[in-house]
Amino acid sequence: MRLILLGPPGAGKGTQAQRLVEKHKIVQLSTGDMLRAAVAAGTPVGQRAKALMEAGQLVPDEVVVAIIAGRIGQADAKRGFVLDGFPRTVPQAEALEKLLAERNLKLDGVIELKVDEGILLKRIENRVAEMTARGEKVRADDNPEVLKGRLEAYRVQTAPLTHHYAGKGQLKTVDGMAPIDEVTTAINTLLAPAKVKAKAARKPAKAKSAAKKPAKAAKTPAPGKKKAKGVKKTSKKAAKKASKGRGRAAGAKTSARRGRASVSKSRTAGRKAPRVKSKAGQRKSRTKRRLTRAR
């Protein structure tokens, strides 16, 4: 997971960055810490940055970008990182985007801590008073007057970053004036979807091929469909046979009727027509019957 924390000095970016480091097992890349380390080591970059930091001014882009480029290439930053205090300007943001693109890396989110500057000044006054009471050394840039200059520089140079990242759909805003634990909870809630996407992106390519297999299987008709088709075919064949059988039976009945009709005709034709006697014959027969009675 790769994140950027935005917010004016004293907004609590360092505290939230530490909690993100513990939760996600990533590293915190704080330009302030790296620059202070360079100042303590007395390197040329450190000496150049020392005067600017004590005056509350921002370190030039080329110096900061060079430090960040070297740091994110180290082994402990491969799992991810949270940038605290960088980028500070739009040109730095563009330089970071170019750097990440060259290494095939992407940002998972940009978190802005919104705060009230008047309350911030009060906070720094209280912190300086507490450090002085404990006998701790107060940093030269850790006082109200320097903070006012840093807040002014933030408004002019760094605040435009919110519009830059909002235009890319990467900006997420949290109320930095809420209690520390509530701010942490809000950040974790915003980052939950990003974490899920990051895990999904790390899945092996085999998952893609496995996902394609069900699509091929879907083309094969289900056993139930095969049975349904077979039943339909069988019923069609049975219907055809039944219709043929009915046709044959009807033909047989018709032929049988025709046969009976022809037989009855032939019988009628074979009978001898009754002989009709003529009138003369009838007279002769009557005469014969009379003679037979007289005898």
Contacts for 240 with CB less than 8 Å, ≥ 6 apart = none
The pTM score is 0.57
DSSP for 95-154 reads HHHHHHHHTT----EEEEEE--HHHHHHHHHHHHHHHHHTTPPPPTT-SHHHHHHHHHHI
Q: Is 277:285 a contact under the CB 8 Å cutoff? A: yes
pLDDT digits (tens, 9 = 90+) for 148-160: 888 888 888 888 8
Q: What percent of the chain has pLDDT over 70?
A: 65
Query: Is residue 122 in some structural domain?
Result: yes
Structural domains in the chain (count) = 1
* Predicted local confidence at residue 4, as pLDDT: 95
* Calpha distance 195→157 (Å, rounded): 30
CB 3 within 8 A of CB 82: yes
Give the C-alpha separation, 174 to 11, whole Å.
11
The 3-state secondary structure of 188-257, one letter per residue: HHHHHHHHHHHHHHCCCCHHHHHHHHHHHHHHCCCHHHHHHHHHHHHHHHHHHHHHHHHHHHHHHHHHHH
In a domain, 279, yes or no: no
In a domain, 241, yes or no: no
The pLDDT mean for the chain works out to: 75
- Mean pLDDT value of segment 116-138: 84
Q: Give 112's strand partners.
A: 6, 173
Residue 145 lies in a domain: yes
First to last CA, the chain: 155
- 191 within a domain of the structure (yes/no): no
> For 161-203, how does the pLDDT look when each residue is reduced to its tens digit (9 = 90+)?
999 999 999 999 999 999 999 999 999 999 986 555 555 555 5
Residues annotated as part of the active site: 13, 88, 127, 139, 150
In a domain, 207, yes or no: no
pLDDT at 260: 57
pLDDT for position 269 = 47
Closest CA to 168 of 243, 94, 70: 94
When pLDDT is averaged across residues 233-248 and rounded to a whole number, the result is: 57
Helix and strand numbers (H, E) in the chain are: 12, 5
Query: Residue 120: which of 35, 30, 7 has the closest Cα?
Result: 7
Expressed as residue numbers, the domain containing 66 is 2-186
Residue pointed to by tokens 């430090």: 67
Q: Is residue 271 part of a domain?
A: no
Q: Is the peptide bond before 87 cis (omega within 30 degrees of 0)?
A: yes
Q: Give the range with max mean pLDDT: 176-180, 253-257, 264-268.
A: 176-180
Task: Convert the pLDDT of each residue in 51-105 to its tens digit.
Answer: 877 777 777 777 788 778 878 888 888 899 999 878 888 998 999 999 899 989 9
In a domain, 152, yes or no: yes
Domain of 43, CATH number, reads 3.40.50.300
Rounded Cα gap, residues 88 and 106, in angstroms: 18
What's residue 218's pLDDT? 46
For residue 171, the model assigns a pLDDT of 93
Checking if the pLDDT of 250 tops 70, the result is no
Nearest of 32, 68, 67 to residue 50 by alpha carbon: 32
* pLDDT winner (highest mean) among 59-63, 114-118, 225-229, 289-293: 114-118
Q: What is the pLDDT of residue 290?
A: 62
